[in-house]
Structure 1
Amino acid sequence: MHTLSTVGGGFVAGLFETAQRLGVERSALLRAAGLAQDTPQEGQARWPVGDVVALFEAAQRLTGRRDIGLEFAAQVRPGTFQVLGYALMTCRTLGEALALVPHYRRLVFDIGYSEMRMSEQGAHAVLEWHVLQPQLSYSPVLAEALIASWFAFGRWMAGVPLPLRQVTFQHAAAGAGEAFSQFFGCPVAFGQHTNALVFERSLLAMPLVQADETLHLAMREQARAAMEKAFGSTDVAQQVRAALIPLMPKCEATLAHVARALGVPARSLQRRLAEANTSFGQILDAVRKDLAKVYLRDASLSMLDVALLLGYAEQSSFTRAFRQWLGQSPLQWRREKVLQSLRK
């Protein structure tokens, strides 16, 4: 159980990638933020909020980019928000996705530090972000990164531009105002009472490109499992499912690595799974099958990318497994889903 407010590792990984793209290596960013080089410890998937604030502010200083929050947001994809991102992208509409966020947002930003508030005001909808912990200083760059991330990911899920009425920030402007207006495509006001996106309420009915009811249910189950692993669960099968997701891209989807992540002996974990009438192999196969269908819907991922994300050392191994699951190759399955989306 976490006693401190924390941030999911996928969100922080996105910052490291952004900084590296701008010429700042992970080690340099950690030093500038005053953090240890091995932070977080191996196997730790979450970062204290205070450390994340320090990393964003250090990245802004080292890169000299006042608009680094926008640069970060421009690259967000489902993995930035961990399994919650995949649950959101398979919703039917933008409104449905926004309604889902409060249930699982803790996977990205733990409760206690901040909260998201959604309201409807006449013909407009307002999505706000509020900092709740006064002992953690308000960070303008983090506020900008979050607000911009919501907008960028919503646009990515919809597959079309999402016109905004206005964007507001609590902090004062400090240059780069034109970059913000260009990014959001609307007036951006600083020094306001809230951090918010304001848009037409009709956009809530916007259909999402990757909508899939069956897959959505699977991803919600994955999100629930991840919540239980991060914040407490007695369901050993769900604990294993949640532990496997970050281990697979590192080719560490083994019983030994999962047991280490859960802090139990491998034999004990194996015994508990048997008592639950399942096995490590069955769970791994089910997780790979579910996530394969999610990853294949992301056109930016090659077949090799998908294979590696699922923990396969070779693409051919993934292809064989996929044929056993669904009776066709991953490429055939992807093409069929693309055609189905075009017919909608």
Structure 2
Amino acid sequence: MIPANVGASTVRDWAFPRAATGLRVLLTYGRDHGLGARTVLAGTGLQAGSLGLASGSGAAEVTAAQELRVVRNLVARLGEGIGPDVGSRYRAETFGVFGYALRSSRTLGEAVEVALTYLDLSHAFALPRAEVVGDEVVGRLDGGGLPVDVREVLVARDATAVLTVLDDLVPGGTGASLELTGSTATLRVAVSEMARPLPRDGADAAERSRLLCEQVVEPRRRRTGLAADVRVLVTQRLPEGAPMTAVAADLGRSERTLRRELAAAGVGYRELLDEVRASLAAELLRSGPTLGVDALARRLGYAEATSFIAAFRRWTGTTPAAWAREFA
């Protein structure tokens, strides 16, 4: 059961980096409505192939501005009423380790707590607040701080996604209701539903999944400003090794200037590169044996697997195979 004063998300700003896997939902939606990837990604500087979005093998990050551009592209082609339809396509699995933590929760109430704690591992723009009113938990999403041109679309998408994921977590659904009113959304679910047990694997799943969330989210929260932008651009260029010259050019800087500005911020480029690689390696290993060590090394920008294994041992004190056996 969650406390009576459920409260708001720990996230205070929607402009956080997000996993590129969220764009797969938007790309698929566009494709199903006759739009090619180039049209959907126009103006983002992204290509589906370079992020692994076409095959689903990628675990890169994108900026909030890039995802926002994709939403605007869809709205321009398909209209402002797409929010609920897009939102209904999200499932817990869409969100990587965040979704794993939701699935691993002992009860629906615990899943709500996880969602509010790690919202910046989702793809949300409209930030939620929840409270207990009588015998209901009432969740509200207010789009007041979102760009006016896509405010209602984003609120409708995010609120519908929340409802869809909650119902997907609980066998038979939660019986929750959703009311969309312009730039606000209200979800209502009986307080008694919060105690509903969720199907999960293993008694230690909840603790393990939270640890994984912390491993992914901590570097993101620790880096702001230029360092945060560099981290995102590094993830997008990892398959080619994320050369500093290319990332600097993406930011409109020379390599020397970028190095100087990062030093002033108290961080080095190599440190950011290692952070991204360590985080994405954990994400990809946790998702199961879909990639061998050689393929994973290439995905992270290593020329050979031995270099990746040595780096992984430096980060974690163990090998990728041993880590996967323990945490995947």
Alignment TM-score, normalising by the size of structure 2 = 0.62
Distance 1:302 1:60 in 2: 38
Structure 2 equivalent of residue 169 of structure 1: 179
Distance 1:13 1:54 in 2: 14
Give per-residue Cα distances to partners, 1:210-244, cap 9 Å, x unaligned: 74555444433333246x23xxx6xx5x5543542
Q: In structure 1, what residue type is equivalent to 2:240? A: C
Structure 2 equivalent of residue 129 of structure 1: 141
Write the mapping of 1:204-215 to structure 2, written as runs, cut at 5 A.
209=206, 211-212=208-209, 214-215=211-212
Change in 2 beyond 3 A, CA 1:89/1:59: farther
Change in 2 beyond 3 A, CA 1:294/1:40: closer
Q: In structure 2, what residue type is equivalent to 1:202? A: M
Q: CA deviation at 1:204?
A: 9.3
Distance 2:268 2:207 in 1: 31
Task: Please say if residues 121 and 217 of structure 2, whose CA atoms lie closer than 8 Å, have aligned partners that are also in contact.
Answer: no
Distance 1:274 1:148 in 2: 43
Task: Please say if residues 124 and 158 of structure 2, whose CA atoms lie closer than 8 Å, have aligned partners that are also in contact.
Answer: no
Distance 2:317 2:324 in 1: 13
Q: Mark the runs of 5 or more structure 1 residues left unpaired by the alignment.
A: 31-36, 172-190, 339-344
Partner secondary structure for residue 194 of structure 2: helix
Q: CA deviation at 1:266?
A: 0.6
Partner secondary structure for residue 286 of structure 2: coil
Write the mapping of 1:1-344 to structure 2, written as runs, cut at 5 A.
10=20, 11-20=22-31, 24-27=35-38, 29-30=39-40, 38-41=42-45, 45=63, 46-47=65-66, 52-53=71-72, 55-56=74-75, 58-59=77-78, 68-69=85-86, 72-74=89-91, 77-78=94-95, 93-100=110-117, 104=120, 108-109=124-125, 114-132=126-144, 135-136=148-149, 139=152, 142-153=154-165, 161=171, 163-170=173-180, 194-196=185-187, 198-200=189-191, 202-203=194-195, 209=206, 211-212=208-209, 214-225=211-222, 228-229=224-225, 236=227, 240-248=230-238, 250-273=239-262, 279-299=268-288, 301-303=290-292, 306-307=296-297, 309-312=299-302, 317-338=307-328
Change in 2 beyond 3 A, CA 1:197/1:268: same
Change in 2 beyond 3 A, CA 1:12/1:203: farther
Distance 1:51 1:337 in 2: 34
Q: CA deviation at 1:267?
A: 1.5
- Higher RCO structure, 1 or 2 (CA under 8 Å, sep 6+): 2
Task: Please say if residues 89 and 97 of structure 1, whose CA atoms lie closer than 8 Å, have aligned partners that are also in contact.
Answer: no
Task: Please say if residues 163 and 187 of structure 2, whose CA atoms lie closer than 8 Å, have aligned partners that are also in contact.
Answer: no
Q: How many residues align?
A: 286
Q: In structure 2, what residue type is equivalent to 1:198? A: V
Task: Please say if residues 84 and 107 of structure 1, whose CA atoms lie closer than 8 Å, have aligned partners that are also in contact.
Answer: no
Q: In structure 2, what residue type is equivalent to 1:220? A: V
Which aligned runs of 4 or more in structure 1 are off by greater than 6 angstroms?
5-9, 83-92, 204-208
- What's the % identity of the aligned pairs? 22
